[in-house]
Amino acid sequence: MGLSIIDAQRDIIIQTIRSTTRGEWKVLIVDEDSRRILDNVIKQDDILNENITNIENIEDRRQRNPEIDAVYLLSAKPHIVDCVMADFEKRKYRRTNLIWTSVPHPSLRDRIDKSPIAREQISTFKVLNVDFYPRESHLVTFRDPWEFPVFFHPDCNGHVRKQIEDVAQKIVGVCVALGEYPTIRYYKPNAARHEASVLASHLARFIQQELDMYAKFHQDFPPPSTRPRGVLYIVDRSIDVMAPFLHEFTYQAMAFDLLPIRDGDKVTYKTVVNEGRRDQESKDAEISENDKIWVQNRHQHMKDTIEKLMGDFQKFIDSNPHFTKQDSDNANSLNAIKDMLAGLPEFQEMKEAYSLHLSMAQDCMNIFQKNKLPDLASVEQILATGLDEDYRKPKNLADQIVRTLDDDAVTPQDRLRLLILYLIYRDGLLPADLTKLLLHAQLPPSEQQTMSQLVHLGVCTTRALKEARPPPLPPFPFQPPLNNLGQEEYALSRYIPAIASLLSAHASSTLDPAIFPYTKPPLEDPSDPTTQSATSLRTAKPTWAKKSSSSEPRQRVIVYIAGGATYSEARSCYEASAKHNKEVILVTSHMITPSGFIQQLASLGWDRRRLGLPSERPPKQAPKHLFEDERRPAEPQGYGNGHPQPPAAHSHHSSTSGQRRGQGGFGAAQPTSIAPNADFDSSARMRPPEPPAAGIASMRLNGGASPALSQASSAGSPKLGSNKLSKDPEKRKKHHFFGKSKS
């Protein structure tokens, strides 16, 4: 079985719960955020099977139960610590096992350490580093769309450091889950033209510090392995500004671009079941890794996806005696197959799965034809690659653009995407020419403001009359393929995302170290084919040359894209895994679609207060009822079994939340006292020294500690960089994170 980051995170959580319960019944206490992490990778029954009697939300009303131990799996936030301390004051449970999804801030840890009543009740204190969301077997997101404006909005510089610290801790969590202590390389663009061009270097340095400190205080990390040492590439959204705007015609990317797919805690698409029958109903169908049809087809070109769906259904008809030869002859179109599926009540599960994907494929193709996407995408590919379909320099390109803008079938948003691609292709336009194009495209003048925000990603949006300016050098110039000439059906998919080129260069050891430098000089090149079969660097033992073997463990390559990733980039990682015999894992803040990215791009021109950054919202407070006198009986607000349902804000969890198990099976052991630091995770106490924020842009990768920060931490508390409480931005010296003072 291949790598799955979903299974890796699931195993960490299950093993931790199992080692904590040790065969004795305990109650599991979660909060809203930690519950989402659990729900993303673990079925509720799998948790309850680990001697968990009930799963309760720490912010709900809960009955005092001093005869049972509790396992707290919580996010390390101030109001959650308030809730925990309220439980300690009331001695809610017999003994407490505190498990955090990320490293608590020193002030929060210090508060717990200095509380006698807390220390009397705590049996264990652990940090799991699982504050991330595996989305696919090789794809991880942080569900953090605010990362893009924090990193690229010109007025969000006061939030950059905290964001980098949080990201560093999350990426360390991914590395720990994979058992990887990777070499780190980062994107350093040539002739950078934007302030955030140093973003990747700062991220890489913070991540290196976090990894080194984790390894220092965890002697079992990384685990012994013969796998070649992994590599972590840190890049940001500016590495490829074309990819977010192009129409992509592989199934997953096309569906998320064209269809109203709901992308929340679950990914769902509203479809009609039993269409045309009396029992017809509308249903939100979930799209997940458990959907084999989706997993098998999501990275296929839509043409191949439709052929595969129809072919698989034809095989089903031929092998099933319920169907006649006439049925087999009629299964020659998507609509015909959908009609046949409606009459198959005895194959409900298979029917719903195929109905979903046939509906999605048909809806995509309807939009494809209605909006004249073939003609539009033909021009897009010229702009993205700089070459026409015959891989020659294009002629009369401006005329093609004007004709496309004139077509009424082309939607306003597609016109805007085309103009953005043209602006990038030309490396800026005369302001008057851009105004004329917007008028011709019948787009509002406000879209010019949206396009101007590309400057924050390193794109020149304007140029002066007769200005001579050398074109920017992309990190990976487009190279015409040798084997795709004449394949007309794939002519609209010629563009190769920069991530795909990066992974190819990594596999061939041709990556330019000036553009992708290391945070630390490697002892040996981990991407060199001559070292692929050697014992991993993680074992720190010398090895000698061996013949390579396809059966040996594959090197893992982790790619982190700051500011969001496209589905074409996710596909590129899977394809690189197969092509280069690697295991490539994509990590990013969130997945972006063209429409969503345009909206985020526009937000870079907004007043910061409009962004709604979580860090600028009023801090959450622990519910008042947690501090009330419990002499008044109150019903617990659990998750099920007749308990009151959680508030509406948590309603998406109500169908899968806790059930009581094993009543009467609790052990009778008396609580025992513990030494002040017994069973405490050392990683929660020691962290790398922090450099002063004011000089961040000029720091070297191995910067020293800040005396101010060192004094701020108590002797018994960890120096946690990843959750450092920020000062009020208005009270700080206004100094740009990326090195430029603000006037």
Give the C-alpha separation, 217 to 537, whole Å: 19
DSSP designation for 75: -
Helix (H) or strand (E) holding 594: helix 594-603
DSSP designation for 700: -
- As given in the structure block, the two tokens for residue 517 are 């430098």
Ranges of beta strands (E only) in 172-225 are: 183-186
Phi, psi of 258 (to 5 degrees): -100, -25
Residue 733: predicted pLDDT = 44
Phi, psi of 691 (to 5 degrees): -80, 155
Residue 654: predicted pLDDT = 38
> Could you tell me which residues are beta bridge partners of residue 124?
97
Q: Which residues contact 412 (CB under 8 A, 6 or more apart)?
A: 441, 442, 443
CA distances from 94 to 90, 97, 116, 122 (A): 11, 10, 15, 9
Give the C-alpha separation, 682 to 684, whole Å: 5
Record the pTM.
0.81
Smallest CA-to-CA distance from 108 within 130, 73, 84 is with 84
The one-letter amino acid at 285: A
Give the C-alpha separation, 111 to 212, whole Å: 26
Smallest CA-to-CA distance from 656 within 169, 35, 4 is with 35
Smallest CA-to-CA distance from 361 within 413, 322, 313 is with 313
The length of the chain in residues reads 743
Contact of 413 with 598, CB cutoff 8 Å: yes
Smallest CA-to-CA distance from 519 within 205, 233, 168 is with 205
pLDDT tens-place string over residues 147-199:
999 999 999 999 999 999 999 999 999 999 999 999 999 999 987 788 889 99
In the predicted model, residues of the chain with pLDDT beneath 70 are 1, 274-279, 321-347, 482-489, 523-551, 630-743
Question: Between β-strands 267-273 and 262-263, what pairing exists: parallel, antiparallel or unpaired?
Answer: antiparallel
- As given in the structure block, the two tokens for residue 551 are 């059966």
Helix count (H) and strand count (E) of the chain?
24, 14
Residue 316: predicted pLDDT = 75
Residue 326: predicted pLDDT = 54
- As given in the structure block, the two tokens for residue 670 are 């008396």
DSSP designation for 647: P
Sheet-wide strand order for 133-136: 133-136, 139-141, 583-588, 556-562, 231-236, 183-186
Domains of the chain: 5-131+621-678 (3.40.50.2060), 134-240+497-595 (3.40.50.1910), 251-370 (3.90.830.10), 373-457 (1.25.40.60), 693-731 (no CATH)
DSSP designation for 727: P
Residue 716: predicted pLDDT = 38
Contact of 62 with 636, CB cutoff 8 Å: yes
- As given in the structure block, the two tokens for residue 587 are 């990590």
Angle value at C-alpha 529, between 523 and 532, nearest 5 degrees: 70
Angle value at C-alpha 620, between 615 and 626, nearest 5 degrees: 160
Quick one: how far is CA 89 from the chain centroid? 38
- As given in the structure block, the two tokens for residue 44 are 């509720």
> Could you tell me which residues are beta bridge partners of residue 585?
558
Give the C-alpha separation, 266 to 288, whole Å: 8
Alpha-carbon Rg of the chain, whole angstroms?
28
> Could you tell me which residues are beta bridge partners of residue 136?
139
- As given in the structure block, the two tokens for residue 595 are 């429409």
Phi, psi of 216 (to 5 degrees): -65, -40
Give the C-alpha separation, 247 to 519, whole Å: 36
Token look-up 């794939």 returns 490
pLDDT tens-place string over residues 293-314:
999 999 999 999 999 998 887 7
Residue 510: predicted pLDDT = 95
**What's the number of CA atoms in the CB half-sphere (13 Å) around residue 559?**
33
Query: What is the distance in angstroms between the CA of the first residue and the CA of the last residue of the chain?
Result: 57
Helix (H) or strand (E) holding 373: helix 373-385
Contact of 157 with 742, CB cutoff 8 Å: yes
The one-letter amino acid at 229: R
